[in-house]
Copies of this chain bind each other. A is one copy, B any other.
């Protein structure tokens, strides 16, 4: 994550993983979510914060989920079911259950199918927010598989050359296991930035960079610009930003996610029901059983060799080192397990208010 999105250390305090997990579980239970599901939700959210993905951890998402449960937009007791199935595929109707809870179920089914026929694809319609898609790809990687996950929702992002929004930020992820190196974990919105980066930028007081959003006429703004007042919806550009820098490719990747998530779950893309999002969120989960393709030990050894090569690649002038997707996530996890998870003071205030409002335990500051 760019430095501009990170809270200043003096604006944050660190809380322990155990305390955060306990409080988040309690909040989900207060929303009517059964204990085992509440613990699953807390696991996903705290794991996301451990990995340093603040956009999708407790600070940005938990409040949204509480609002959505309170407003009846998300179902705390979904009667999810498989609508269509073959040996390698399944389509699930999520009954508006939260994706961060049902995601593990979907990926588990994909993994089981991959064990049988080499690959498993599970799509989910009528869902709610799935959190950081990379989390679910990692579930497969932990079982010696290559995992992928993507999600389609909403209509905040402009196609190339357009002045009307047609897509969600449509993130896609892939994870693959290594032996000694931190596993490969790539998770990115196919728009210039994730939607949650707007609230993060606002919270830490950063402007947006050139080429991230467009003005009302659909023209990319090519200078630093404040976070738009009200909603960012309709202003975000696809990955690449301008046509010259490849926004038509970002646009194509957004469409890829619509096809895999929305169309292959038998649902519709977000642009069909932009106002009310009747179709909900649509998700895609894939598991490739490595041993169906090659020797697992060789795969991991080669993955280690590649990731080490990338880490040790000579940096560009002015840069300290070359990263790979998953490396800082792993470093952050090590640090945060030991030293606690930093939360912005404004997030801590919200937790404080929940103590009174919901009667959940207070967070323990480290």
**Are the C-beta atoms of B271 and A315 separated by less than 8 Å?**
no
Q: How far is the CA of A172 from the CA of B174 in the complex (A)?
A: 14
Query: Which residue of B is nearest A186, CB measured?
Result: B252
Q: How far is the CA of A264 from the CA of B78 in the complex (A)?
A: 36
Mark each residue of chain A from 317 to 360: 1 if its CB lies under 8 Å from any CB of chain B, else 0: 11101111100000000000000000000000000000000000
Mark each residue of chain A from 256 to 281: 1 if its CB lies under 8 Å from any CB of chain B, else 0: 10111001111011011000000000
**Are the C-beta atoms of B269 and A306 separated by less than 8 Å?**
yes
Using A163-B315, A310-B159, A314-B162 as known contacts, say yes or no to A84 and B293 having CB atoms under 8 A apart. Answer: yes
Q: How far is the CA of A251 from the CA of B310 in the complex (A)?
A: 11
Selected from B161, B271, B292, B321, the residue in CB contact (under 8 A) with A323 is: B161
- Give the shortest distance, in Å, between A173 (CB) and chain B (any CB): 9
> Is A192 interfacial (CB 8 A cutoff)?
yes
CB contacts (< 8 Å) of A365 on chain B: these are none
Using A121-B119, A256-B174, A325-B255 as known contacts, say yes or no to A163 and B316 having CB atoms under 8 A apart. Answer: yes
Using A298-B266, A302-B268, A316-B214 as known contacts, say yes or no to A324 and B255 having CB atoms under 8 A apart. Answer: yes
- Give the shortest distance, in Å, between A93 (CB) and chain B (any CB): 12
- Give the shortest distance, in Å, between A279 (CB) and chain B (any CB): 11
**Are the C-beta atoms of B246 and A240 separated by less than 8 Å?**
yes
Using A163-B317, A218-B315 as known contacts, say yes or no to A292 and B325 having CB atoms under 8 A apart. Answer: no
Using A186-B256, A263-B176 as known contacts, say yes or no to A159 and B322 having CB atoms under 8 A apart. Answer: yes
Selected from B241, B244, B260, the residue in CB contact (under 8 A) with A246 is: B241
Q: How far is the CA of A192 from the CA of B249 in the complex (A)?
A: 9
Query: Which residue of B is nearest A303, CB measured?
Result: B263
Q: How far is the CA of A314 from the CA of B219 in the complex (A)?
A: 12
Selected from B190, B243, B321, the residue in CB contact (under 8 A) with A2 is: B243
CB contacts (< 8 Å) of A251 on chain B: these are 324-325
CB contacts (< 8 Å) of A174 on chain B: these are 252, 255-256, 259
Query: Which residue of B is nearest A238, CB measured?
Result: B246
**Are the C-beta atoms of A88 and B87 separated by less than 8 Å?**
yes
Selected from B117, B214, B302, B322, the residue in CB contact (under 8 A) with A263 is: B302
- Give the shortest distance, in Å, between A161 (CB) and chain B (any CB): 4
Selected from B89, B244, B306, the residue in CB contact (under 8 A) with A258 is: B306
- Give the shortest distance, in Å, between A122 (CB) and chain B (any CB): 10
CB contacts (< 8 Å) of A118 on chain B: these are 86-89, 121
Using A91-B294, A211-B245 as known contacts, say yes or no to A309 and B166 having CB atoms under 8 A apart. Answer: yes
- Give the shortest distance, in Å, between A43 (CB) and chain B (any CB): 25
Q: How far is the CA of A353 from the CA of B155 in the complex (A)?
A: 54
**Are the C-beta atoms of B315 and A259 separated by less than 8 Å?**
no
- Give the shortest distance, in Å, between A321 (CB) and chain B (any CB): 7
20 residue pairs bridging A and B, Cβ less than 8 Å apart: A86-B289, A87-B117, A87-B118, A88-B117, A117-B117, A119-B119, A121-B288, A159-B313, A161-B316, A162-B314, A186-B253, A211-B244, A214-B316, A218-B314, A219-B318, A239-B246, A251-B324, A253-B253, A263-B303, A271-B306
